[in-house]
Every structure is written in C-alpha cells, then in structure tokens.
Structure 1
C-alpha cells in the first residue's frame, strides 16, 4: 500500500466519527491511534520475549527497564499483555483494556499519549459507542517498518495533518514543508562538509526549533545515511503543538534516536535546549505570526541579557516573529574554534525589507551582515 492509499485508508476512520465529533476533532482521534498502531507493530516481534523478561526481572526484584529495552531492541517497550489485536477479543472492556495497554508503555511513550490527551479521546469514543469500531479499524492496518518505511510513515503523518488543517480552516503551511524544499536546505547544509561527513563513525548534531512532526530532521538523517551509512546524526528539536510534538517524538523513538531530545513548549519563552549548540540547524517557522503572548519574556531577555542572550541585536515588530527565530538559531551556532555551524531557515520576503533604518528589523539585519553570517539567500517559487 503506497503512502497516498494508506493515508486515505486511515482517513476513512473519519466516516465513523461523523455526527458524534466535529470535523476539527478528527485529528485528535486518528493521529494518536495511528501512532499507537505504528508502535504496536514495531514491538510485535519481541512482545512475548519482553513479557517473559518483565516477569523474570520483576520476580528478582530488579529494575526491569534496561533489560526490557534490550529485549525489545528499541528505545521503548510495553509490559501489558495486550496488543491491538488482543484488544479485539474483549469488546465489553475495550476502554479499560486500551487504557491499560497504553499505560504499559515505557515513560517516554506515555508522555507521547499524554500530549495527545488520549485518555480523554478514549472516554469520548466509549461514550459515543465508537471505541471498539475505531480500534478495530486500526488493528487491521499493518504499519510495521518492513511494510511502511519511516520515510513513508512521515509522509503519511504530514498528509493527515494537512487534511486536518484544511477542514479546521488552519494554514497547511504551519504544519507542512514540501520535501523538495527540505532536500534543498539539507543539500545546502551538507554541501561543504561532504569530505568530513564521509568519514567512518562520524557523529554530527542537527536541530529544528520548529520541529513539527520531524520532517526536516528525518530528511536530513536520510540524506546523511545515503552519503555515509556509518555516520550518525543526533536529532534535536522543539515543538509547540501537542499533537505534532507527540508524532515527532514517536518518530524519533522508532528511528532509534533519543526522543527526550525533542522538547515541548514555546521556543522563545521556554527554550528546551538552553546553552546548547549544534553542527547543523533547519527551520521553517510560521510566517507573520505575532509574538505578543511571549512579549514579556522576550523583552526581559533582550533588556537584561543583551548580546549574552538570544535577542541582543534587536527586536522586530510584535506582529511578525520570523526574525526572532533567526536570532534564536544564531544563538545556537558553535564558535568557529569548535567547528562552527550552518543553518537554513525558510522565511517570507518581509524580513528582508520590513522596518526602516534604526528599527529592530534593520538592526537585526545589520548584525547578521556585519558578522558575515549570510552565505546565500535563495528565492523559492510561490
């Protein structure tokens, strides 16, 4: 089943929800169930071994977690006797059993479903008499990585989010960056480092402060794997939207990344990786979004920390925070003596021209140019 067909099949669950749920609520149900089934399929081959190991180590009075991770061969595990298919055997207790199944996951995965508010969705589906039917739909989809690659799965999530954005009258661009654009950005990042990145065992870091579902990080990882299968790219990020954060974190888990490197929250007011610097960075921040909600924190950092903080060069007008993301990324660059950094950011045209001489925007542009931080500005077709 190709990515488009799989997205359509998963989307068909919406037919069950019509009437009992608003269209804008479909994503809150379909996305966590898709993630759950994906994780369920990943753990299926080692399920019996993990349960046996859990019983053995628990009886011995040992912390079972490290043993279970080793048995699962993943960065997560589940100690519940249930899986999606076994849940189908007890229709009368589907809500309690499904909740117990989710609680059986390791802490990182439980955090994912907490950000989906999954327990609330289970309760709502149960009250509507739809929980078993929805769970059954997903139990019959094979989302094992052997059938659906990580790359395909990422595209499925992006397609689903795009559809949810459309029916919720949101801007799809807030959730989706075309793969062609990401590949261009990644190529620009890596183009001068091919020799270094080709060395056996090389390790580099990459960061996205507007990670979304992790698409940019994933494409960068795929590109480096093609260049050098022995190289490792550690992925870091932060995301404000709970559902996107949860999907990104789940994707990182399945890829073998440390999912705790994906932080939740507002990058401006609550930097999830303070004082950290990275080899490479990517970002497609939302265009023209005001930063009034976090104005107090940003102005305080600007006034009290100056150039020791992120926003020393200046502050743009409150109606558009694009240049704040630019300054944030600059603050994450490594000094040249430590190898330096490269980053690519997608902006609309306004940061290039908005604001007269002496304005916050103008001062930020001056800081960037005087410090020779710009290598290229590339115009993309609209």
Structure 2
C-alpha cells in the first residue's frame, strides 16, 4: 500500500470538516471530526494487527482475534466497517460503536469519544453522516500507511485549523506552537522525567516535551505525561492526541485545576519534574474564599484578588514541583508588575525559585494582540544562578505573516542561547540580583532591567532630532508603560462592572 503524504493527509482531514460547513458552527467541528478520526484509526490498526497475527499463525482465525494481539479491543458490531454498512439512524450506530469500544477498553479509553450529540438528526442528518463516513473510508489509517508521528502532526494541523476557524473560542484550545517549542527547549526535559500541564488544552505542550526528548535521542518512552483540563471535549481531544502520537504512559484527567486538582498522591498534590502551562488569564469566576484556606497548601504566597486568579495558578504550579522541578509558564505581562499582586510576587522572588523572565512580542496569544512573557522557575537552580534572575527582552524576536505571529527557529535560538549563557547582553538580556529586584519593589517588568538601545547602540544626543530608527526604538520601549496603563484602566473598569 502506498504511504499517504503529509499534504494528502492534511487535505483528507480538512475535507471531512468541509462536509459540516453550513450545518453546524465551526467551533463545533472538533467534537465530531476528532472522534470519527480516532474511531477510524482504531479500526484500521485492529485490522492491521489481525492480518499480522494471521500471517504469524499461518491463517489461524481464532488466534488473530485474541485480545493479546491487539492494542485496543473492538467488540462485535463496533468496527468501522460495520457502522459503514448501517442504512439508517447512522448517528445512533456511531454512538453505540463508540460506547462499545470505550466499555471494552475501560482503563485506556473510558469516555474518550466525548459526548457529541450524534443522534440529533436535525443537525446531522443520516446523509451527512454517511458522507463523513465515506470520506474517512477513502484512506486506510494503518500504522504502515500513516506512521504515528505523521498522523500526530496531521492531527495537530487539524487542531490549528479548527482554532483558526472558530475564532475567539480558540484561546483555551490552542497555544501558539512556536512558543510551546521554545518553552520545552528552555526546560530541556529528559528521559525518565514526569511532565505536567495543569491546563492542558489539547495536549500540545505534552506532545512538544515528548518531541524534545526524541530530538535529543532520549528514551522518550520512559516519560510520564500528566495533564488536567476542565473542558470535556478538549480533554478528550488531548487524550486522542497522545494516543495518535503513540504515547501510552499518560494520565489526562478532567476537572477544574484550582477547585479540584485531580493529580494527588496520598494526601498531597502529586509533584512533577517539568511543568509547562499557558493558564487562562485573569479569570474572575473562581472560589477565592476556598483558596484562602486551601487544603492542599497552595496559598503559600497569599490569596489573589477575585478578578485575577493568575497567582492561584502560579502557586498551584510551584506547589506541584519536585525538589529538582522546573516550570515555564506563559503569561500576559500584567503578572510581572500589577500592584494588587505585589506582596505575592515579592514572596515568590524571595524564595529564589524565579530563574528567568522572558518578554515576547505581540500577537503570540491566540487571537489577542497582547504581549506575552514566559516566567521560568526552578527549585534546583545551579549555584551560579542562585540569588539572581535573568531578564530577556525578546519583543522584536517575532515575525508576522497574515494574521498570525510566530517565532522563527532563529528567534528561538537567540532566546535559548541567552538563557543558557545567563549573562548580560546590552539591550537584550540582564542578570539582576534579588537585591536589585527588591529595590524595584519586586516589580519584574522587563524594561526596568533591560535598557533598550538605539540602532547604533548610542544614546541620543541632546537637542538632535530623533532618527526614524530612534523614534521606533523609543516607541517600542514606551509600549510597556502603555500596556501598564491599559491594564490599570481595565482593572478599574472591571471593578466598576462588579460593583454595579
């Protein structure tokens, strides 16, 4: 059988979504397309394993059926081919097959297909479902035909396409993969480590950590991957994502990480070697009162304001690190300087776990012009880094094409080398002592430490008109102050809204 190219695979997957256009909202494509793709893959791999077992046993049909020869079990009536032959009530047949597969694989697949309304014939008439099944049936998704890495990449392509198509709902679903790649390189996960994402979305950060270990020729199968995700559909997509990438040692649980952390060991939070996260920022609907007396001890820095749970997530992550643990968290810049979180930030800096603060350019958050930053913490800082924090101003290390911004490999490399070197670079990186930071009242705003330079590295002479480059440099350096002011204005408006 001829292998499918990456391009063919991507157009095949997107072609399935096109069949739903006009029937359901773009934001709902994912709850139908991903489960069908996973159902097709499981069925085709079962067939592949069946043929291999037949060959091995010289045609012993009962041997080929043995559970030991199959990664996943498919009960009678639940195979793709059987559903394909259903003449009517196709949605009900799909639902029965998916529930049957979940029940036959309780430890691995319980609830994985989500809860899409397959039997709603007004939204999805039989004709549409038959078209979808026929479309998916045009390719064989066996491992020989579509290796795990290739199917995994195509799945990630589809996640990105759905995020693009569904607009504002995409933020919790998708994190810019070039930023994720940078974050995993900064933390350099190693074989044998446990890796956790407390707000894991579709699992992109966990996959990226896995890929980073693979790139370093590490034994990636020794990694243990953990995640928690509040949204049922998104957590199901994350689990399918990991399976389709060939990962089996993982635990993705559903639930609200702040209200009900599900990764527990004995009577305390489970701790991890590497944590990657892009938490939802400044959420207002959370239980602040419960946090003030958190039974897991996650309030060791204090209780964040009701309108901003950012430092609740930050503390949850710090409390979830092993003694050698390190984390990289993607935040808007506000966490670095907001007055209402100053006391918590000061305590965090004093405990000397903050290793680096890296400012990134605008438009890297999904569908938001906001500038983002990566805060890196390390419970086991090298001796030479103790009592110090590296600030990197990588605002201009970004490129924009059409509506999307991303980090090119050269941008990632410059930031990574500066982090690894941990030394001053005029206009780009500055090592500050905890004393320096305390003198700034624990404000971690990057322009306080990294002073922007003009194009030629000289300070502008008095009385001379600014060149275009100097004006640009000044405008960029003043951008931080502008966003600080905007942030204060937003806070004021939020308070006014809450009080009315």
Q: TM-score, normalised by structure 2?
A: 0.61
Q: CA deviation at 1:354?
A: 1.0
Q: After superposing the two structures, state which structure 1 stretch, 362-371 or 174-183, moved more.
A: 174-183
**Partner in structure 2 of residue 369 of structure 1:** 349
**Partner in structure 2 of residue 235 of structure 1:** 225
From the CA coordinates, give the structure whose radius of gyration is larger. Answer: 2
Give, in whole Å, the separation in 1 of the partners of 2:46 and 2:310.
Answer: 40
Over 3 Å counting, the alpha-carbon distance change for 1:133 and 1:258 in structure 2 is same
**Partner in structure 2 of residue 265 of structure 1:** 255
Matched position secondary structure for 1:188: helix
Matched position secondary structure for 2:354: coil
- Structure 1 residues 128-187: Cα deviation after superposition (integer angstroms, max 9, x where no partner): 532211111112233334444444444433443444344443253332223322222112
Give, in whole Å, the separation in 1 of the partners of 2:284 and 2:210.
Answer: 31
Give, in whole Å, the separation in 2 of the partners of 1:19 and 1:121.
Answer: 17
Contact kept, 8 Å, 1:311 with 1:324, in 2: the verdict is yes
**Partner in structure 2 of residue 121 of structure 1:** 118
For structure 1, the residue ranges without an aligned partner over 5 or more in a row are: 56-66
Matched position secondary structure for 2:223: strand
Q: After superposing the two structures, state which structure 1 stretch, 166-175 or 215-224, moved more.
A: 166-175
Give, in whole Å, the separation in 1 of the partners of 2:167 and 2:349.
Answer: 38
Matched position secondary structure for 1:176: coil
For structure 2, the residue ranges without an aligned partner over 5 or more in a row are: 55-60, 363-500
Matched position secondary structure for 1:334: strand
Give, in whole Å, the separation in 1 of the partners of 2:163 and 2:209.
Answer: 25
Of residues 288, 297, 306, the one that matches 1:309 is: 297
Give, in whole Å, the separation in 2 of the partners of 1:43 and 1:326.
Answer: 43
- Structure 1 residues 299-338: Cα deviation after superposition (integer angstroms, max 9, x where no partner): 2232354xx6112312333333322221111010113xxx
Matched position secondary structure for 2:195: strand
Q: After superposing the two structures, state which structure 1 stretch, 2-11 or 134-143, moved more.
A: 2-11
Q: After superposing the two structures, state which structure 1 stretch, 221-230 or 279-288, moved more.
A: 221-230
Over 3 Å counting, the alpha-carbon distance change for 1:181 and 1:150 in structure 2 is farther
Matched position secondary structure for 1:174: coil
Q: After superposing the two structures, state which structure 1 stretch, 274-283 or 126-135, moved more.
A: 126-135
Return structure 1 stretches of 4+ with deviation > 6 angstroms: none
Contact kept, 8 Å, 2:92 with 2:118, in 1: the verdict is no
Contact kept, 8 Å, 1:165 with 1:172, in 2: the verdict is yes
Of residues 190, 196, 200, the one that matches 1:211 is: 200
**Partner in structure 2 of residue 247 of structure 1:** 237
Q: CA deviation at 1:267?
A: 0.7
**Partner in structure 1 of residue 479 of structure 2:** none
Over 3 Å counting, the alpha-carbon distance change for 1:173 and 1:304 in structure 2 is closer
Matched position secondary structure for 1:40: helix
